Chains A and B, each alone.
Chain A
Amino acid sequence: MAEETLVLFKNIRNPKYSKSLEGYKKAGGYQTLKKVFGMKPNEVVQTVKDSGVRGRGGAGFPTGLKWSFMPNGTGKPSYLIANADESEPGTCKDRELMLKDPHLFLEGMLIGCYAVGCHHGYIYIRGEFFPAIKSLNTAVEELYADGLLGPDPLGSGFHLDLTIHSGAGAYICGEESALLDSLEGKRGQPRVKPPFPAISGFNGCPTSVNNVETLACMPFILGDGGVEAFKSFGPENNSGTHLVSLSGHVNKPGVYELRMDVNMKDIIYGIGGGIRNGKKLKGVIPGGSSSSVMTADEVDVLYNFDELANIDTMLGSAAMMVFDEDTDVVQLLHRITRFYAHESCGQCTPCREGTHWSRNILRDFLNGNGSDEKLRRLDRVGGNMLGTTLCALGDAAALPIQSFVKKFPDDFRKYYANK
């Protein structure tokens, strides 16, 4: 049976651990930062590249590669922004880190700042996360008091400031270019790319935006653990452990740290304790609400980036939402489309209109006004959002629609079969 592999949660799972700076240092904290200050920034970037770590926010882009895009000698300041705007339905792992071991993430953040030459980093955290904001504020204050932030951390001479920036409730601000607009004090609307943030990001300066969990991997990769150990936690191209947010109809929902070569069945029936009330599994939304749904027959697969991409869905932010045989998938999809209709920023027509149209069509089904034509129209509206918008929200709204219609057609027909 699958078990947790503790890298990021090593401290959190220790009942005697104290998350204060003192406690974190006692557990070996900030030793990696010390080591990193003795390396050249490009050596740090190369090590991160070698580790193969891919962004844990949803896109799975190689972090080392992202950092290597940061240009030198532009005459402008460079920025590292931590994306702590965790809002993808099903995802609650970054909150866990920030609440229970803020210094692990912060050490990673400081390492990242050094690697990309950033002297003032920002943590963009979603506004509703009041307890996590408090936890981070305390930790950052401790760092300033200790001298780990300020003019000369650990005698490195590398001046480093950190600011926690609260968002104000908008899913779209998790998209990196919308996040940057929001950080600049604007409505959070995704930008036209290129230019990418590495060329023109925060206030037009070179910027790297990285997920909280991604940054929290850095103390292990560059410290005691090392590249080879990190790579050994998963198959080629899927290195490291990752935090899986398990929710829905399982007996033991929770956030678990797993290797990347664990079978989904083991996650649901082993770690998750199986389906509650002895019910049968009907399906799983594997990587946040934006990923294509999987049926019960499809879950015998390794839970990682490439394996899920192979079967036309995605790992996303590793948020597994499990639902049982009694679930009304039309209602479920209606709830998902309501989310996207609420969160579309309104900039691109296909998404602004399509998210509302699809929600309205599904409402018709629920009100007893479904039909074959409406089912086809729903699928078409989804298709018209795919790839036609500036950011991935259009795709994120379309993929669940198209996959639910394709994989559970009978559930939709039930709504109008007797008419």
Chain B
Amino acid sequence: MFSKEIQNQVNNLLSRYPIKQNALIPILLLAQKENNGWITEEWMQHVADCCEVPLTHVEGVVTFYTMFRLKPPGKYHLQVCTCVPCCLVGGTEILEYTEKKLNTHAGYTSADGLFSIEEMECIGACSYAPAMIVNEDYHEQVTPEKMDKLIDKLSK
């Protein structure tokens, strides 16, 4: 199920731990990337086979960690932090602004499938708050104006 390039990464990961199960979380992250940002039962079974663990174990792991998603995200996944330092300097307002602008809510995807929003607990950019992650990139000291610019750019 993995592409050849990713299969090489999986094999490399498996070789770096004493027990195959140890590589489960990094391999699940690769599987999620392969499947456009979410995990299906079919993928869980495939990863279970790679790591030689039961499917139920993989399900337990997938549902424990917030980065694993069981439904497809938008093309751009906006992860807006509203945790303590961000909420002190307007993170909550940024989230509300984004929800209004995209006419959707945290946990959902915009009608055109382009943007999904997630409300985050601390993302570790506290001294540069309010902050967010878009797919794999950090955006710091976010303002409504910066958000407008970003969304306009990504919508094109």
- Chain B: residues with CB nearer than 8 A to chain A? 16-19, 21-26, 28-29, 51, 53, 57, 60-61, 64-68, 79, 82-85, 87-89, 120-129, 133, 136-138
Known: A166-B26, A170-B66, A185-B25. A89 touches B126 (CB 8 A): yes
Whether, in the assembled complex, A307 has its beta carbon less than 8 Å from a beta carbon of chain B, the answer is no
Q: Which residue of A lies closest to B17 (CB)?
A: A163
A246 pairs with B127, CB closer than 8 A: yes
Which residues of A are found within 8 Å of B60, using beta-carbon distances? 187
Which of B29, B64, B84, B138 contacts A90, CB < 8 Å? B84
Given contacts A169-B67, A170-B65, A247-B85, contact A129 B25 (CB under 8 A): no
Q: Shortest Cβ distance from B69 into chain A, in angstroms?
A: 10
Take A130-B136, A131-B138, A339-B83 as given contacts and tell me if A92 and B125 are in contact as well, using a CB distance cutoff of 8 Å.
yes
Q: Once the chains are docked, how many angstroms separate the CA of A253 from the CA of B89? A: 11
Q: Which residues of A contact B57 (CB under 8 A)?
A: 186
**In the complex, per-residue mask of A319-359: 1 if CB is within 8 Å of any chain B CB, else 0:** 10101000100001001100100110100000000000000
Assess whether A184 is interfacial by the CB under 8 Å rule.
yes
Question: A86 vs B126: C-alpha distance in the bound complex, in angstroms?
Answer: 11
Q: Are A89 and B122 in contact (CB under 8 A)?
A: yes
Residues of B within 8 A of A184 (CB): 19, 21-22
Q: Are A126 and B61 within 8 A (Cβ)?
A: no
CA–CA, A253 and B90, complex, Å: 14
- In this assembly, does A285 line the interface, its C-beta being within 8 Å of a C-beta of chain B? yes
The CA of A336 and the CA of B79, in the complex, are separated in Å by 19
The 3 lowest CB-CB distance pairs between A and B, nearest first, are A185-B24, A168-B65, A169-B67
- For the complex, what is the distance from the CA of A183 to the CA of B65, rounded to whole Å? 13
Q: Does A56 contact B (CB under 8 A)?
A: no
The reply to whether the CB of A306 lies closer than 8 angstroms to some CB of chain B is no
- CB-CB contacts below 8 Å: A127-174 with B: 127-131, 161, 163, 165-171
> How many residues of A are in contact with the other chain, CB < 8 A?
55
> What residues of chain A lie closer than 8 Å to B84, measured between beta carbons?
89-90, 285, 289, 321, 332, 335-336, 339
**How far apart are the CA atoms of A95 and B87 in the complex, in Å?**
20
Are B137 and A131 closer than 8 Å at their CB atoms? yes
Flag if B28 contacts A323 (CB, 8 Å): no
| A44 at the binding interface (Cβ < 8 Å) | no
CB distance from A174 to the nearest CB of B (A): 11
Shortest CB-to-CB span from A89 to chain B, Å, is: 4
Q: Are B25 and A182 in contact (CB under 8 A)?
A: yes
Contact B125 A95 (CB under 8 A): yes
B88 and A321 contact, CB distance less than 8 A: yes
Q: Tell me the complex Cα distance, A165–B121, Å.
A: 21
> What chain B residues lie within 8 Å of A88 (beta carbons)?
122
Some 17 contacts from A to B, beta carbons below 8 A apart, are A87-B121, A89-B83, A131-B137, A166-B29, A170-B64, A171-B121, A186-B61, A188-B65, A203-B19, A203-B22, A247-B88, A247-B129, A253-B126, A255-B127, A289-B122, A323-B88, A332-B84
A343 to B125, CA, bound (A): 18
Return the CB mask of A368-402 against B: 1 if under 8 Å, else 0: 00000000000000000000000000000000000
State the CA gap A203–B19 with chains docked (Å). 8
Q: B66–A245 contact, CB under 8 A?
A: no
Is B88 within 8 A of A128, CB to CB?
no
